[in-house]
Amino acid sequence: MGNKELLEKDFKNLLSELNSYKEMLALAQWDMRTKIPKKGVEQRSEVVGFLAEKAHQLETSEKMKYFIDMLKEDTENEIIKKAVLECEENYIRNSKIPLDEYKNYVMLQSKSEAVWQEAREKANFALFQPYLERLVEYNQRFATYWGYEDHIYDALLHNFEPGITTETLDRVFPDLRQAISSLLTKINESSLKPDSSILQSHFPKTDQEEFSKEILNRMGYDFSSGRLDETIHPFAISLNLNDVRITTRYDESDFRTAIFGTIHEGGHALYEQNISEKLASTPLATGTSMGIHESQSLFWENFIGRSKAFWSSHYELFKKFAPTSFQQVPLNEFYQAINEVKASFIRIEADELTYPLHIMIRYELEKLLINGDIKVSDLPNLWNEKMQDYLGIKPPTDREGVLQDIHWAGGDFGYFPSYALGYMYAAQFNHILSREVNVKEAISTGNLGSIKHWLTQNIHQYGKMKKPLQLIEDVTQEKLNPVYLINYLTQKYTDIYRL
């Protein structure tokens, strides 16, 4: 074995060691969000801090720097080359954060999530406020460490969507909002009003879970490499390519929360489960960005899961698990009801049309917070004002308002825009997919495998081998274009509401 081969082998061993810490960190975080006893949070936060510290030390070590310098320009292995570049970016960014600050921040994240859960249950923002204030301060400081050109918020956006800037969002969001507002006006004037009350019947959690698992199976989710659990705020988490877990939330008075939430998280999981095994144990073995990740979850949830073709082929299966009150509901009325446009307090329960408005509210508040234009204590009132402005409703308590999402508790500032970006990406992908695969026929015949195969071949397998904007252009032959989402929403709701 030559010197270059030995060097690459040693580099892989370092990546494997780093990956081991990150896998244990992910497992600890999964447990904290699903199973941990309340009294175990404090000690577990210490463990999370220890694991994060060890991973941070490896990512910023002299040994890592040595491999980066030696292999960056001197390897013919494309995977090694891309992994080195990814490690170099992580090395540069993480080296700018003092180790003690990073460890304390990770511990704060874990404690904040636990406090957020309590604050949410009690609808008491004051409990969570001091933790959120510290999280905001850390993110402002980290953004300054990393540096930025025009907007401090860009430094945080980069963590989730490399290549996207505040300028980009401020350009595409207004067009999308205007299109949605125009459709909302027409829908409100329409005489056709779907009756969603037909959906709100007691639906036992166990039956919802069985139906959810059946749908996940049909989507192609591999239960031998994953599991489905219950939590307050649904999420998917990848420990490794053969252990990708999903969580959901059940509401026995409204099955839509669990069913569409599970399909959404299933889309995330399919992405992670179908990354090429060649990328295993490297920093490339994950989704290329949160926007691309959200494109997969929103594609499955909305473009597939809320489509007429899906329910035409799955309605009898649904009635097998559903309570008797659903047995006589006509398919068309059911389809219209699950696609009713109605302002919702809760983002994850929002209809397809108003969903992006929820994201824009959070984006605007995040920018103001990180810019220092507002204080954390201003959030509850500003949240309610923006909900009134964008959706015409005011949350009755902070549980349905500013406390509903876990993202800020985890310090994930810059994350929310990826949901709206992912929705736009999904529409672009769907436009190309529909040219190459007969999507309606595939859904109608239950052949979801052909759709999964296309997504794997064009998106999933690459992991982080391609940057998000490069992937978008490779698949769709153009840059981010909100027109496809606008066209999709216009056509769908024109048909449903006979506009």
Non-local (6+) Cβ contacts of 237 within 8 A are: 26, 29, 30, 244, 245
Q: Which of 161, 265, 272, 301 is catalytic?
A: 265
Contacts for 228-231: CB closer than 8 Å, 24+ residues apart:
228/262, 229/34, 229/35, 230/34, 231/33, 231/34
- Give the span between the Cα atoms of 366 and 362, in whole angstroms: 6
161 is catalytic: no
Angle at 373 between CA 375 and CA 376, to 5 degrees: 15
Q: Evaluate whether 299 touches 430 at the Cβ level (below 8 Å).
A: yes
Q: 417 is written with which tokens?
A: 């825009």
Instruction: For the chain, give the number of residues.
Output: 499
By CB atoms closer than 10 A (0-12, 13-18, 19+), residue 70 is: middle
Residue with tokens 């591999």: 222
- Give the span between the Cα atoms of 151 and 235, in whole angstroms: 29
Q: 296 is written with which tokens?
A: 């997969």
Q: Evaluate whether 208 touches 259 at the Cβ level (below 8 Å).
A: yes
* Exposure b/e, 270-282, CB count within 10 A at least 16 = b: bbbbbbbeebbbb
- Catalytic residue set: 265
